[in-house]
Structure 1
Amino acid sequence: MVASLLILTDFFQAADRALDYTSNLAGEIGARLVLLHVRRDSVLDPEMFTGQLSNLSQEAIALALNSVAGNLAVPVVAEVGHGQVAYALADAVSRHHPTLVVLGRPDYSDLPDELIQTTSLDILRTAPYPMLVVPHTLVTTTPPRRVLLAVDGESFSLGAHAGAIRHLLAALHAELTIVHVAPVAAAEAAPDPAIWDSAVQTGLAVELPKAVRTRTVVHHHPGEGILQAARPEDFDLVMVVARPRSFLGQLFHHSVTAHVLLHSALPVLVLPATE
């Protein structure tokens, strides 16, 4: 069965940037694209009043999807969903079983984090699934090779998604570095081997061409520590583990995952853990 990458598009700049990136990624790993546009036509959708939604007609959407699909160099299936994005996405995922869900991150620089209700956060709460978020500022669309995996030292499992993510990294011939952010008080302490074991035991590094590297960053804020390590000159992609207690809580905007999602200069691959 051919792997697939499901990408959301609203035809805005961030989605276009994510599509360029994802089509190159699909070509690299031999996957097809599932291009999904959700017509958010519910009067209860809060973004109906912000100007952030496309108001194209059904005919215009069909023409736009056909135009986009016709310009891609990889196999593509185009679909239109309706209603809230998270639920339309869950339906598409149940039918296509993609390796990843992909979406672009728009420019939120003029809004405080607490006021941002991003699609990515809604998806994590409604239909947890491996999700790649591509920032609108990303310059390169080259498939990632140098991958940074942030861990918190607690054991975790990726459940049914572990195999797909492992094969993705192997297909990319990824060079994996595991990073742990330690508080300032622990700067002189030797890293606990269990920190690295928590990631190695998932099997993500089994098929990689090079040995996994490890790195400790000292910072009082884990999210800022990850961003400090995830520099574009050193890495191409950052992976973070999202635990259910984080993305199902009411204070998700204050979580490490949310902070990295909103501020990373690199694409962020969110891996929902099972606990």
Structure 2
Amino acid sequence: MAVSLLILTDFFQAANRALDYATNLALPLRARLVLLHVRRDSVLDPEMFTGRLSNLSQQAINLALNHVAQDFPVPVVAEIGHGQVSFAVADAVSRHHPALIVLGRPDESSVPDELVQTTSLDILRTSPYPMLVVPHTVVRGTLPRRVLLAVDGEAFSLGEHAGTVRQLFTALGAELTVLYVAPAGPNAEAEAAAALVTVQQTGLTVGLPAAQVRAVASDHPAEGILKTAKAADFDMVMVIARPRSFLGKLFHRSVTAQVLLHSTLPVLVVPATE
């Protein structure tokens, strides 16, 4: 089966930036794009009343999808889903088995984190799957090869997703830097080296250049990750989402959520199996 990337599109700027980014990724992967537009036409959808949803007619959506799908350098399939985005995505995932779900992160800088109900968080709860979240400020450029992989030092397994992520990194010729953030202490370097070993044990580094490791002292892991994940040094940041965090009611306080909401780099979120 050909590799697919599932792209959510609402035809706004953030989605268009994510589509450009995914198209760039699809070339070395020799992947096809599956464009999914979800008509959030349920009266129970909380954003029906915020003015943030596309109110295009079915005919206009068809025309827009057909226009977007033209003149792509990779094969494209376009689909329309209905209802809540997370359930429409779960249905598309079950049929297309994409390597990644890709979506744009709009500008929500004026909204408190506690009030942000982002699509990415909803999808993680409903159908945990490797997901690439592209900030609205990111423009299509060179392929992302410098990847910052943030880990907490605990052992983890990615299950079936390990092969998918390794395939992506291999196609990109990625250079991994493992980031370990912890309060300052005499054992920080040893703990960072141990964190690198946990990553190597997942199989992610097989066939890649030797991974580097970096230790950062901070009492707040998300803050340490965000300060390190700068465009001058890295192209993408990867975080491991543990079920105990993204299934919790206070997920917006988790490290994964904070990085998703505030990173200036694209964020690859891969759910761990526990």
Q: TM-score, normalised by structure 1?
A: 0.97
What letter matches 2:79 in structure 1? Answer: E
Q: CA deviation at 1:187?
A: 5.7
2:182 aligned residue: 182
1:39 and 2:42 matched: no
Q: 3-state SS of the aligned residue for 1:226?
A: helix
Secondary structure at 2:67's aligned position in 1?
A: helix
CA contact (8 A) 1:134 1:266 kept: yes
Query: Does the residue aligned with 1:158 lie in a helix, a strand or coil?
Result: coil
Tell me the residue number matched to 1:148.
148
AA at the equivalent of 2:5 = L
Matching residue of 1:165: 165
Aligned-residue offset at 1:232: 0.4
User: Size of the alignment, in residue pairs?
Assistant: 273
Aligned ranges for residues 1-275 of structure 1 at < 5 Å?
1-184=1-184, 186=185, 189-192=188-191, 193-208=193-208, 210-275=209-274
Deviation string for 1:43-65 (max 9, x for gaps)? 00000001111010110000000
Q: Is the 8 A contact 1:147 1:236 kept in 2?
A: yes
CA contact (8 A) 2:86 2:119 kept: yes
The Cα shift of 1:99 comes to: 0.3
Q: Is the 8 A contact 2:17 2:140 kept in 1?
A: no
Aligned-pair CA distance for 1:27: 1.1
- Following superposition, the deviation at residue 133 of structure 1 comes to 0.0
Identity of aligned residues (%): 71
Residue 188 of structure 1: CA displacement? 6.0
Contact 1:28–1:143 under 8 Å retained in 2 = no
Amino acid at match of 1:213: Q
Task: Indicate if the aligned counterparts of 1:241 and 1:272 stay in contact, CA closer than 8 A.
Answer: yes
**Offset of 1:164 from its aligned partner?**
0.9
Aligned AA (2:66) = N
3-state SS of the aligned residue for 1:179? strand
Q: Which runs of 5+ in 1 are unaligned?
A: none
Residue 141 of structure 1 aligns to a residue whose secondary structure is: coil
User: Following the alignment from structure 1 to structure 2, what is the Cα–Cα distance between the partners of residues 92 and 201?
Assistant: 31
**Is the partner of 1:215 in helix, strand or coil?**
strand
The whole-number CA distance in structure 2 between the counterparts of 1:5 and 1:143 is 16
Secondary structure of 1:70 counterpart: coil
Cα RMSD after superposing both structures: 1.0
| Paired amino acid for 1:253 | H
| SS of structure 1 residue aligned to 2:16 | helix
